[in-house]
Amino acid sequence: MPRLALVVLSSLLSLSGAALLVEHGWGPDPEIQLGSETSSAGAARETASSAVGLPLPGTPDRSGVPVQLVIPFASSNHSEGVTAPVSADPLTDDGDLFVPPDPRAVSWAREDAAPGAPRGTAILVGHVNYVVEGKLVRGALSDLAEYAVEHVGKTFTVVLDDGRHLTYRITGGEQYDKDQLAAQPELRRALYDQESAFGPGAGTGRLVLVSCGGALDPDTGNYEDNVFLFALPVDASAEEASTEEALAAG
């Protein structure tokens, strides 16, 4: 898989609006067509729903509905970090991810894994930026490429509707051309994997933040790529124990 390239900031500043065109797909088996193509969106949703959220034996399910994303560190377009509302949305009629029209907001794909689930990929998506009332507004997820290059290891928070705060640590990112994503359902299934558990321990789902990136196509007015930023949950009890051990040793 190609490593992510940092989005050129001049492109971000000159964009007048961008469409996020990510075809959605599920499942790890490349021999089974589960991608949400327009002609099979309903069947893909049904298949995915049956696989989402099935915990590993003995694994507690700490999942919940996200309502806010908090990224506490500064980046190029967000000097004070990001605090963005999160809505829970279904896929579009074509089986694609719903993207909020307001770039300052983020959508959770509610038909997939939820943050805190013991397996699968929770998907949060938003515009890189967009024109609102004639003005260019930088999106809550405008700096994903930068995070993947400069902020791996840093943490951010997803707030759930029951008041819990889930902490995630950035593990890396990928950037793909939209045409490549459309042509390779097996790649989409890997990016949006709803069946696997991810490290470091057994029974750990992951989170992916998705937005646009790459060069701006002057003919369409859209970015040519999608950027994917991956993160794993931080075990709060383990973090506290580690901190206590470090203080005792010091």
Q: Where are the domains of the chain?
A: 66-249
Count other Cβ atoms within 10 Å, centred on residue 134.
Answer: 5
Alpha carbon 160 to its chain's center: 16
**Cα(91)–Cα(112) distance, integer angstroms:** 10
* Fold classification of 66-249 (topology level): Sortase; Chain: A; (2.40.260)
Query: What residues pair up with 209 in beta bridges, in sequence order?
Result: 124, 229
Interval 71-101: pLDDT, tens: 999 999 999 999 999 999 999 999 899 999 9
Share of the chain above pLDDT 70, in %: 69
Interval 10-48: pLDDT, tens: 233 233 334 454 555 433 322 222 222 222 223 233 333
Token pair of 130 as six digits: 């967009």
Residue 242: pLDDT over 50: no
Q: Which single residue is written with the structure tokens 């951010």? A: 156
Residue 60: pLDDT over 90: no
Whole-prediction pTM: 0.76
**Cα(65)–Cα(63) distance, integer angstroms:** 7
CB 210 within 8 A of CB 22: yes
